[in-house]
Amino acid sequence: MTDSFAKRATQWDSPQKVNMTDAFVAAMLKVVEPEKNWTALEIGAGTGLVGMQVLPKVKKMVFEDTSEAMLGVLKEKLQKSDNAQIVHGEVAEYKNCDIDFAFSCMAFHHIVDIDATLEHLATITRKGATIVVGDVRTEDGSFHHFEPIPHTGFDTDELGRQFEKAGFKVHFVKTYNILKRERTPGVISEYEQFMLVAQKI
Ligand SMILES: C[S@@+](CC[C@H](N)C(=O)[O-])C[C@H]1O[C@@H](n2cnc3c(N)ncnc32)[C@H](O)[C@@H]1O
């Protein structure tokens, strides 16, 4: 599979990306208090801008991503962390049924088969596990410069139904940030970032 993040991995941790992921982490930690005995999973962890902040709060942190290049940057940060596991591939590659907390920031729109991902997530999460997914609401394709992408954002009602079908209870969906980007010269577009919080039934 082509690693579409290969060229961007070493430059990923820009101040803009750090601000973006910090906004997600702040919103997430307002609603979830990770516990010391939890096993946490980040789907589409990239270089670990989000998961590295959760790592010290839990027993084990699993970083999953399909990009070897992004995970390469993460590996350099992890060095001696003995409570971290890296999974290279789709989330289906993680098979232990021990996840207490799963989260994902800006990765779901890259995942082709959301239903299959959620079905698998339901098999590896413990009853009562908390899931937090952050991404953009439906947009016109400009966010990715009209390049082919599996999802041009999400209709969160539909995404919520997909979660419920897979065996999760959706607690709420809220907008936690508005991204402003100049995708067309001279035009500032706004992209609403939502956070969906669900629980494994
Ligand atoms: C926009 S980046 C976000 C990375 C990180 N979560 C962050 O906020 O900095 C999307 C990430 O999703 C990963 N990705 C793409 N398709 C994926 C899939 N099917 N399963 C898991 N990760 C995927 C990419 O490799 C990339 O690291």
DSSP string, 100-157: EEEEEES-GGG-S-HHHHHHHHHHHEEEEEEEEEEEEB---SGGGTT---S-SSB-HH
SS3 state at 72: helix
| Cβ(169)–Cβ(199) below 8 Å | yes
Q: Please tell me the CATH code under which domain 9-200 is placed.
A: 3.40.50.150
Domain segments of the chain as ranges: 9-200
With the most atoms of ligand 1 within 8 angstroms of its CB, the residue from 25, 86, 110, 181 to mutate is: 110
**How far is the C-alpha of 159 from the C-alpha of 133, rounded, in Å?**
10
65 lines ligand 1 (CB under 6 A): yes
pTM of the model: 0.97
44 lines ligand 1 (CB under 6 A): yes
Partners of 187 in the β-ladder: 184
**What is the pLDDT, as a whole number, of residue 133?**
99
pLDDT in tens, 103-114: 999 999 999 999
**What is the pLDDT, as a whole number, of residue 184?**
85
**For the chain, which ranges sit under pLDDT 50?**
none
**What is the pLDDT, as a whole number, of residue 79?**
85
Measured in angstroms, how far is the CA atom of residue 96 from the centroid of ligand 1?
21
**What is the pLDDT, as a whole number, of residue 142?**
94
- The end-to-end CA distance of the chain, in Å, is 34
**What is the pLDDT, as a whole number, of residue 1?**
75
pLDDT in tens, 71-119: 999 999 998 888 999 999 999 999 999 999 999 999 999 999 999 999 9
Nearest atom in ligand 1 to the alpha carbon of residue 70 is: 27
